[in-house]
Structure 1
Amino acid sequence: MAKKTRTSSKGGDKFLDFSTVKEKREKKQPESRKDAEELRLEEAIFGNLDEFKENLGAEDEEVQIDEGGKVSEQEENGDVALLDDSELFMMDVGEPSKIDSEDAATRDVDMLSNASEDEDFEEEQEEAVWHDSDDERVEVSLLDNARLRKLRRYEDENMLNGVQYSARLRVQFERIYPKPKWALKKTDDDGENSDEEVSLSEASVLPSSLREILQSSVSYAAKKTSVLQPGQIDIKRLKDANFQSPSHSGIRCMSLHPIYPLLLTCGFDRTLRIYQLDGRTNPLLTSMHLRSSDLQTAAFHPDGKHVIAGGRRRYFYIWDLETSKVQKVSRIYGHQDLQPSMERFHLDPSGKFMALEGKNGYVNMLDALTGQFVTNFKIEGTISDVLFDSNGANLFVLSYEAEVWQFDIKAKTIVRRWHVQDAVATTRFSLDSKNRYMAIGSKSGIVNVYELARNDAPKAIATLDNITFSINSLAFSTDGQVLLAASRGKKDTLRLYHVPSFTTFRNWPTSVTPLGRVTAVIFGKGGELCVGNEAGRVGFWKLAHYL
């Protein structure tokens, strides 16, 4: 069978006939007439063409404004017809019209005049570099959000536009953080007396790096204190000392610089961190990671130029802050068997000696900067804690069997030895700055306070039983008027006692004070109180009785 050939409509067998297309174009379509409603809508949208042609050649006339400042309706409708073709269009460059700019300026002036009533708001405002037109259209409710209610000027105030809201936030920010002195414009009078009025308070010691602090000549002097009354204590909470760079493990030890407001922390994250305490930002100045040792103890040397740190190893580190060099002291020649670990050590106030807690009741004395062995002292039993007196002449050793040993360092002799009254397992003890009172904590939570006389035997004067867990932190304030006792056995276990009445302060800490499980505490010369916990945070408080 012969196959039929298929012709494609796209092929060349059939061609387009232009004659038929031309005929279709020549056919006239019947025009549909517009009804009255369609013509009325067309005139409302596109205007009346006949009136436009009639008024096209009319002369320009002045627009009359009535007494109320409004253009009459008749003149307003004919205003477009009186304009030239060049005036019918304009280029939009993003700038507001004259009337809109005057309204916006009026609103800004009114808003700034209201904000200037606040005492902390500046009287003279510099011209802004950039304006956001959306700020005028934004509306913020002060009643819907509880955190914004403090921005109200009266109780029922609710809605604010964006410009007013920005001004209120600026005023509130400057109330909390006033402008620093370096940001204020200097006058001629300020320049004359700037060299004479140099404050030695902690607020003026704000260099940007640790090297600048160590090279500065401004000292951090201890503040005078007033007589503290028992019952209640005036204490203020500040920003956490390490909130900008918290520790990744629990705080094991803390130390304050002897000259500048610097805080040293260490822990099981093997990192030494130094913070500058200003109460607001508390910046991290520097840190050092020691990957081979879980740090247990770290302290500033009394000269302020070195940091000594040790962990559960047979060596410790001496960090030179000026040169950033680290020296590793690896052994005690001839006494290695008595010192299996260098995790717990103590520095005397003069910075000459370093006391290491050894085994079998031995306390090894080394040179604090060279690590060379000097001498050792021995007690009966297991060592719980070691400390020096404020003069550095005597060494006190506390045994776990509730005995206190006092040694004369220079004579290398035992001065006295006594048993702690009604105590079984003693853990920590502390001595005030005047070498008068000694507080001794036990595993049962009881703290016994002794008064140290020069010749007579120590006399127990108080027994504090407010804590029922093992005491792991004891400290006297630098003025000797406050005693702190804490335990990490239970969360928020910390008490403050008035000295010399040894009664608790009733108003602090409260049930909402964020203490955590306390692992380390320290008092500063200016009334600072730093409390470290197992979460790696260091709480920061200030005692108000320091003038």
Structure 2
Amino acid sequence: MKRKNSDIEEQESRLSSLLFNKAKKFTEQLSTQTDSFKYEERKPAWIDEDDEQFVATDKLTSKKQNSYTNKLKQKYEILMGTPTWASLNKKEKQEEEDDNELLRTVGHLQKQKLTSLRKDFLEFKKFPKINAETGNEGPIISCLEFHPKLSVALVAGQSGVVSLFGIGGDVNNKLHSFKLKKWNVTAAQFTPDGSEAFIASKINHSYCVYDLVKAEPKLTQLPKIVKRPKIFKLSSDGKFIAASDGLDEVYIICAKSKELLRSLKHNTKVESAAFSAKSDKLFCYGIQGEITVWDMSTYKVLNKFYDQGCVTASEITTSSCGRLLATGSGEGIVNVYEMATLNASDPIPIKTISNLITKITNIRFNATSEILALSSGYYPNAIKLVHLPSYHVFYNFPQQENLYQVETVSFSPNSGYMALSNNKGCAYLYRLKHYKNY
């Protein structure tokens, strides 16, 4: 039995190394990601015999003839562009693979594998801590984010140290680390292309823009009207920053020019804010449970309503699919709304989750909107993973291990990994086996 378990573990580690590449030479990979996609060299579909007989006015050698042909080809592509039918990067073996698949299923019915996520049991494997190599990000790890393009995670917290790690499963190597003096990092987000990370602290007037390619952090002053960013959110498209000092105004800042664009007035103190998946709306969550929906193109109010059953507001977030909005209150209640119903004067949540009894400090959807993670940093092991759309809680997570107070939960871009941090300076890493990509 022990031999069988060890074989399974060995196969699992080998599979993980194949599915999730280690991030070596991080800056080189990142530079490659920013370049435009290059199609592989393809052979011409046909050759015109008249082209072979064509001779230029000057007598050309074979070497010059090839050079001349290439110049003509380049000039044509510049003037006319590449036809869409010619630019398709199809796999040459696709037809052969389809034929083989057909042969395997002819003569009998093959049972299809389940592709949807199970609603009760979550298959996962725990890997070594992300920050095992450093462990100096502070006793409270408040920020834990996965890179949108590469297998890299950012870890930051109370000490002001920001570290980048290559996610490799069994080994998570440190790529870079820097310290922001007298900082308590409370917000960190990557830009959509992954070239920069925006980092902020609710006790500092400035925020940091970290260039990942150059490995250079640069401090930028917030507009004078913004005292200290208790709330600091980067929009999904990377164009806007929503900042608030926790009073009744939210300030919209251009992420590129760093200029103040607009001040949005809320009736009560703003406790949390979230952009929609397309960044066309901003949801502001007032301390008394009032939600204001702003149009980001006109900066006008689209709707105002109260979160049902909320006494003290805490957290608000949206799903990447653009269909769901989730709110968390100081009483441990989480409401999930459908975006399509938020035009009503008194929308009703499609589900109310009451599995936690203390203040909700973190809510996060995974990339496929199949998992909703909710946690409270006020009580040990106060974390639940909820399956969507059944809203069943995965009974096998967390297991018997002590996670202490969970501060934040994060999912990799394709949900292959899940990470969570706590108040003991740990950033735990889990592989979700249902998802096959990083």
Higher strand share: 2
Q: Go from structure 1 to structure 2 and tell me whether the alpha carbon gap of 1:449 and 1:175 turns closer, same or farther (over 3 Å shift).
A: closer
Post-superposition offset of 1:519? 0.6
Give the superposed CA RMSD: 2.8
1:202 aligns with 2:20: yes
Is the Cα contact below 8 Å between 1:521 and 1:532 reproduced in 2? yes
Question: Which residue of 211, 214, 232 maps to 2:27?
Answer: 211
Post-superposition offset of 1:212? 2.5
Distance 1:497 1:463 in 2: 12
State which drifts further: 172-181 or 376-385: 172-181
Question: Which residue of 433, 446, 463 maps to 2:333?
Answer: 446
Post-superposition offset of 1:248? 3.1
Q: Go from structure 1 to structure 2 and tell me whether the alpha carbon gap of 1:331 and 1:389 turns closer, same or farther (over 3 Å shift).
A: closer
Which whole-Å deviations, capped at 9, do the CAs of 1:202-226 have from their partners, x for residues lacking one? Answer: 32x532x33233234499xxxxx93
Post-superposition offset of 1:359? 4.4
Is the Cα contact below 8 Å between 1:313 and 1:343 reproduced in 2? no
**Counterpart of 1:260 in 2: which secondary structure?**
coil
Post-superposition offset of 1:343? 4.6
Question: Which residue of 508, 513, 516 maps to 2:404?
Answer: 516
Question: Which residue of 525, 528, 531 maps to 2:413?
Answer: 525
Post-superposition offset of 1:476? 0.9
Is the Cα contact below 8 Å between 2:230 and 2:246 reproduced in 1? no
Is the Cα contact below 8 Å between 1:299 and 1:308 reproduced in 2? yes
Is the Cα contact below 8 Å between 1:262 and 1:277 reproduced in 2? yes
Question: Which residue of 304, 321, 325 maps to 2:216?
Answer: 325
Counterpart position of 2:262: 375
Q: Go from structure 1 to structure 2 and tell me whether the alpha carbon gap of 1:254 and 1:177 turns closer, same or farther (over 3 Å shift).
A: closer
Distance 1:227 1:369 in 2: 40
Distance 2:297 2:131 in 1: 40
Post-superposition offset of 1:284? 0.8
Is the Cα contact below 8 Å between 1:301 and 1:308 reproduced in 2? yes
Distance 1:360 1:455 in 2: 24
Is the Cα contact below 8 Å between 1:497 and 1:503 reproduced in 2? yes
Counterpart position of 2:120: 231
| Paired AA for residue 409 in structure 2 | V
Q: Go from structure 1 to structure 2 and tell me whether the alpha carbon gap of 1:217 and 1:356 turns closer, same or farther (over 3 Å shift).
A: closer
TM-score where L is the length of structure 2: 0.74
* 1:88-487 equivalence runs, <5 A: 202-203=20-21, 205-207=22-24, 209-217=25-33, 226-246=115-135, 247-311=137-201, 312-332=203-223, 336=224, 338-453=225-340, 456-457=343-344, 458-487=347-376
1:538 aligns with 2:427: yes
Q: Which has the higher contact order (CA 8 A, sep 6+)?
A: 2
Post-superposition offset of 1:326? 3.0
Gapped regions of structure 2 (runs ≥ 5): 36-113
Q: Go from structure 1 to structure 2 and tell me whether the alpha carbon gap of 1:300 and 1:501 turns closer, same or farther (over 3 Å shift).
A: same
Distance 1:151 1:232 in 2: 25
Distance 1:385 1:423 in 2: 14
Q: Go from structure 1 to structure 2 and tell me whether the alpha carbon gap of 1:314 and 1:235 turns closer, same or farther (over 3 Å shift).
A: same
Q: Go from structure 1 to structure 2 and tell me whether the alpha carbon gap of 1:331 and 1:487 turns closer, same or farther (over 3 Å shift).
A: closer
Distance 1:385 1:526 in 2: 26
Is the Cα contact below 8 Å between 2:144 and 2:427 reproduced in 1? no
Post-superposition offset of 1:172? 12
Q: Go from structure 1 to structure 2 and tell me whether the alpha carbon gap of 1:343 and 1:180 turns closer, same or farther (over 3 Å shift).
A: closer
Distance 2:355 2:20 in 1: 35
Which whole-Å deviations, capped at 9, do the CAs of 1:192-245 have from their partners, x for residues lacking one? Answer: xxxxxxx9x532x532x33233234499xxxxx931232222222222222222
Residues matched between the structures, number: 352
**Counterpart of 2:27 in 1: which secondary structure?**
helix
Post-superposition offset of 1:303? 2.6
Counterpart position of 1:131: none
Is the Cα contact below 8 Å between 1:452 and 1:459 reproduced in 2? no
Is the Cα contact below 8 Å between 1:339 and 1:359 reproduced in 2? no
Distance 2:229 2:317 in 1: 21
Q: Go from structure 1 to structure 2 and tell me whether the alpha carbon gap of 1:416 and 1:278 turns closer, same or farther (over 3 Å shift).
A: same
Is the Cα contact below 8 Å between 1:297 and 1:343 reproduced in 2? no
Distance 1:179 1:396 in 2: 41
Distance 1:493 1:339 in 2: 33
**Counterpart of 1:214 in 2: which secondary structure?**
helix
| Paired AA for residue 395 in structure 1 | L
**Counterpart of 1:453 in 2: which secondary structure?**
helix
Q: Which is greater in Rg? A: 1
Counterpart position of 1:498: 387
Q: Go from structure 1 to structure 2 and tell me whether the alpha carbon gap of 1:370 and 1:319 turns closer, same or farther (over 3 Å shift).
A: farther
Distance 1:513 1:173 in 2: 20
Post-superposition offset of 1:344? 3.0
**Counterpart of 2:30 in 1: which secondary structure?**
helix
Q: Go from structure 1 to structure 2 and tell me whether the alpha carbon gap of 1:173 and 1:517 turns closer, same or farther (over 3 Å shift).
A: closer
Post-superposition offset of 1:325? 3.2
**Counterpart of 2:373 in 1: which secondary structure?**
strand
Which whole-Å deviations, capped at 9, do the CAs of 1:459-481 have from their partners, x for residues lacking one? Answer: 31221111111110111111001
Structure 1 runs of 4+ with >3 Å offset? 149-152, 171-181, 216-219
Identity %, equivalent residues: 22
Distance 2:259 2:232 in 1: 14
Which whole-Å deviations, capped at 9, do the CAs of 1:347-405 have from their partners, x for residues lacking one? Answer: 11111111112343111111213321111211111111111111111111111111111
Counterpart position of 1:56: none
Which whole-Å deviations, capped at 9, do the CAs of 1:91-146 have from their partners, x for residues lacking one? Answer: xxxxxxxxxxxxxxxxxxxxxxxxxxxxxxxxxxxxxxxxxxxxxxxxxxxxxxxx
Q: Go from structure 1 to structure 2 and tell me whether the alpha carbon gap of 1:497 and 1:178 turns closer, same or farther (over 3 Å shift).
A: closer
Counterpart position of 1:21: none
**Counterpart of 2:340 in 1: which secondary structure?**
coil
Is the Cα contact below 8 Å between 2:231 and 2:246 reproduced in 1? no
TM-score where L is the length of structure 1: 0.60
Distance 1:215 1:478 in 2: 24
Q: Go from structure 1 to structure 2 and tell me whether the alpha carbon gap of 1:176 and 1:304 turns closer, same or farther (over 3 Å shift).
A: closer
Post-superposition offset of 1:257? 1.2
Is the Cα contact below 8 Å between 2:246 and 2:271 reproduced in 1? no
Distance 2:15 2:329 in 1: 49
Distance 2:125 2:402 in 1: 13
